Amino acid sequence: MDLQQYTYASLLLGTIAIPLALSFDKKVHFWTNWKYLFPAILITAAVFIYWDIQFTKAEIWSFNHRYVSGYYFQGLPIEEWLFFLVVPYACLFIYEVLKSYIPKIEFPNLFAAISLGVIILFATISYFNRGQLYTFFNFLFAGIFLAYVIFRNRFKQYLTKFYFTYVITLIPFLIINGVLTALPVVEYHPAHILNMRVFTIPIEDFGYLFLLLLMNTSIYETLKTQRYY
């Protein structure tokens, strides 16, 4: 048995271990929100997995067989499917911890203004890099969805915790994605990225994380507040 084949799986296990173990914390009660959490994760995962499949087929990125278990579905290693369940779970756990432990720290107007700046930034990057497909679609989708969330005006009260969560999430992201891109487990076609990196992580991945977290959080809060079930 080649242990390096379980590199990606081990990173996912390390990501989910603590959030899952602490989901029953008496103050956060994260498990009581699972009925809203898992639909949000699955809806978002469907979008990202389709995107992932198409980009893999187009060879915009690929997966190094040496670091995955060898089980594939629709051209993606099983670990990549699990990524869209594990990472959002961990991120939304952090989000709920912040809501529970620092409920009074809110700057909705400030972060609404910051969001407008982020929309302009994402739109600019996307427009001027139309030839780099990961760069273009990544920042285009992130800008459009953030604009939708902001102008729909139902997410403003959650913006503070969303941005705090994103910043905190960058710490494990730098470690985990740093390993994924350093070995590399995931390889990017140089013609479709800016080739600007933070350590070994393409700058596009930071926008990708932003969109992944935003979609999960906004859908999650919509399901909670609308009380459809």
Q: Hey, what are 123's tokens?
A: 């739109």
Q: Give 153's pLDDT tier (boundaries 50, 70, 90).
A: confident
Q: Could you tell me the pTM of the whole model?
A: 0.96
Q: What is the pLDDT averaged over residues 108-113?
A: 96
pLDDT, residue 53, reads 98
State the total domains in the chain.
1
Mean pLDDT of the chain: 96
pLDDT, residue 3, reads 84
Q: Provide the domain limits for residue 69.
A: 3-226
Tens-digit pLDDT profile for residues 43-87: 999 999 999 999 999 999 999 999 999 999 999 999 999 999 999
